């Protein structure tokens, strides 16, 4: 089973544990199968999902939006966590963009959606603030017929 993630990167600190538990619960039915999680490793939902996949005994595949993603978009206080997940991944794909930006993120979302059997969305249900956000990824997955599981546990909030 190949499961991708889309979700908010700006989860509040007190949302992390409820979202982590909800992701673990959502992955539990797939833990005994050949679970592969596909993530762009953005801060927040993507990283929580990646950790939950690895904790469930699954393999992690990473899709990075651009060659400069780590250096320009991963904040210094998140680099160690990002790097720990990156080196534990079984496969890393870079999109064909030198610089991170809206088109790179849209292409990365498409790569994730196009490679999975289902998509988890850590999403509050609100429209995207700009093109390429969580709401757009959910709409794109649904348009392709990819099942979407919305995960937004009680107490989850974004900044």
The CATH number of whichever domain residue 113 belongs to comes to: 3.40.50.450
Establish if 155 belongs to a structural domain: no
Establish if 112 belongs to a structural domain: yes
- The model's confidence at residue 56, banded by pLDDT at 50, 70 and 90, is very high
Residue 59, judged by CB atoms within 10 A of its CB (0-12, 13-18, 19+), counts as: middle
Give the burial string for 14-25 (b: 16+ CB within 10 Å, else e): ebeebbbebbbe
Share of the chain above pLDDT 70, in %: 97
Establish if 157 belongs to a structural domain: no
Listing DSSP states for 77-142 in one string gives GGHHHHHHHHHH-SEEEE-S-SS-SHHHHHHHHHHHHTT-SEEEEE--SPPPSSTTSHHHHHHHHH
Establish if 40 belongs to a structural domain: yes
Establish if 158 belongs to a structural domain: no
Q: Name the residue range of residue 44's domain.
A: 2-150
The tens digit of pLDDT for each residue in 79-133 reads 999 999 999 999 999 999 999 988 999 999 999 999 999 999 999 999 876 667 8
**Taking residues 131-136, what's their average pLDDT?**
82
Number of structural domains the chain divides into? 1
Establish if 114 belongs to a structural domain: yes
The tens digit of pLDDT for each residue in 138-159 reads 999 999 999 999 999 999 999 9
Establish if 156 belongs to a structural domain: no
* Structure letter (DSSP) for residue 1: -
Establish if 124 belongs to a structural domain: yes
Tokens of 105: 């993120």
**Taking residues 46-68, what's their average pLDDT?**
97
């Amino acid at each position: 089973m190949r499961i991708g993630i889309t979700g908010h990167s700006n989860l509040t600190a007190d949302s992390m544990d409820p979202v982590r538990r909800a992701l673990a619960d959502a992955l539990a039915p797939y833990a005994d199968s050949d679970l592969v999680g596909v993530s762009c490793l953005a801060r927040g939902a993507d990283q929580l999902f990646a950790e939950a996949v690895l904790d469930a005994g699954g393999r992690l595949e990473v899709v990075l939006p651009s060659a400069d993603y780590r250096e320009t978009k991963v904040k210094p206080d998140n680099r160690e966590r990002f790097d720990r997940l990156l080196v534990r991944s079984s496969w890393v794909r870079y999109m064909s963009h030198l610089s991170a930006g809206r088109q790179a993120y849209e292409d990365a979302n498409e790569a994730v959606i196009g490679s999975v059997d289902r998509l988890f969305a850590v999403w509050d249900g609100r429209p995207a603030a700009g093109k390429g956000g969580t709401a757009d990824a959910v709409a794109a997955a649904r348009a392709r017929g990819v099942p979407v599981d919305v995960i937004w546990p009680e107490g989850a909030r974004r900044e």
